[in-house]
Amino acid sequence: MQKIEILIVGTNKPIMETIARLIDKEEKWLATIAYTVEEALALCRLKDFSLVLICAGLSKDEENQLSLSLKQLKADLPFVKHYGGGSGLLYAEIYQGLALQ
């Protein structure tokens, strides 16, 4: 089964690992973590992600830079800001984000 690949970008390692684990619990989804904007953009050049979740820890400038660069790099790639840090809102954010494709 081809999995839906989701890139999550943020700096809080334990929270990023929790979010990745929650995403990977869904059979059809696969999470990849990037801890910096540069890492996120490099991964986007290598792989076709279906969604980017912008998690906690990036500065406002970094979030803006990531959003702008993603638009230039892959105009159709949806990205959404993640809130909450755990399972509460994650699934709704992913369903809504994937619907933007």
Partner 1 sequence: MAQTVVHKANTRGVADHGWLKSYQSFSFAGYYNPERINFGALRVLNDDIVTGGMGFGEHPHDNMEIISIPLEGELQHKDSMGNTATIKAGEIQVMSAGTGIYHSEYNADAKNPAKFLQIWLFPNKRNVTPRYDQILLNDTDKRDEFVQILSPNAADAGVWIYQDAWFNLGKFNTDVTKTYNLNKKGDGVYIFVLKGEIEVNGQILATRDGFGIWETDSFEVKAISDAEFLMMEVPMEF
Binding site for partner 1 (CB under 8 A): 10-12, 14-15, 18, 55-60, 63, 81-89, 91-92, 95-96
> Given the complex with partner 1, which of 75 and 99 has the nearer CB atom?
99
> Given the complex with partner 1, which of 15 and 51 has the nearer CB atom?
15
> Given the complex with partner 1, which of 36 and 74 has the nearer CB atom?
36
> Given the complex with partner 1, which of 27 and 48 has the nearer CB atom?
27
Closest CA to 16 of 31, 37, 26, 29: 31
Closest CA to 54 of 37, 74, 71, 76: 37
Least Å from the CB of residue 23 to partner 1:
14
Q: Which amino acid is at 19?
A: I
Least Å from the CB of residue 90 to partner 1:
8
Query: First CA to last CA across the chain, in angstroms?
Result: 20
Q: Residues 87, 40, 13, 29: is their CA dihedral positive or negative?
A: positive
Least Å from the CB of residue 2 to partner 1:
22
CA 81 to chain centre: 8
